[in-house]
Amino acid sequence: MPHCVIEITEKIIQKLDTSTLMKDSAQAIYSLNCFQANDIKVRLIPIEYSFMGIEEEDHAFVAAEIFIFDNKTKEQVNLLSDTLQAVLEKHCKSFHPKLSIKTRVSFLNEHYKRFKTI
């Protein structure tokens, strides 16, 4: 834990060095000293189709969601969000005139389950 899922419209993803974006995102999360390096997972999902407003508009977005357990302080959560947001803006903000970049932190609880092979 944590899982960082980044959705990016194809208009932006075509212009990015996705490997560097994912590595920088993982490094930013790790730099907070809240997580073990090997526990950080970053996934990038290209969004081929999206729609905004009532009529089709030329737009693009980058949306990151970080899933963590709910044992972090408010300060740690805010720093996590701010740090990842800064990475996304650094990598993406100049690629489209109508661009939204957002970061959200979501909490997992005791109902989170996983299967792991040994």
In 3D space, the residue among 34, 38, 17, 3 whose CA is nearest the CA of residue 87 turns out to be 17
In this predicted structure, what is the pLDDT of residue 86?
Answer: 98
State which residues of the chain have pLDDT below 50: none
* Whole-angstrom distance, CA of residue 9 vs CA of residue 56: 15
In this predicted structure, what is the pLDDT of residue 96?
Answer: 84
